[in-house]
Amino acid sequence: MYVCNCNGISEREVDVAIRAGAKRWDDIHAYFNCRPGCGKCEYDISGAILENRKNTSIKA
């Protein structure tokens, strides 16, 4: 499923960018060499980043 419709970034691609070190929602766009468009994806991408942080801190 697409998270960022403006740039065609999918949930899987968001996960890839997070594993590569993306810490903020606009880092996801930078990873794919694009910029945020309308901003509607900020909530979903930020949520994915927070979820990753929670899961990582639980394992640590």
* Mean pLDDT, the chain cut into blocks of 10 residues (60 residues total): 96 96 95 95 96 80
CB within 8 Å of 42: residues ≥ 6 apart: 25, 36
Q: Residue 29 maps to which CATH number?
A: 1.10.10
CB within 8 Å of 25: residues ≥ 6 apart: 36, 41, 42, 45, 46, 49
Count of alpha carbons within 13 Å of 60, Cβ hemisphere only? Answer: 6
Q: What is the pTM of this model?
A: 0.88
Q: Could you tell me the residue range of the domain that residue 11 belongs to?
A: 2-59
> How many structural domains are present in the chain?
1
pLDDT of the residue at 20:
96
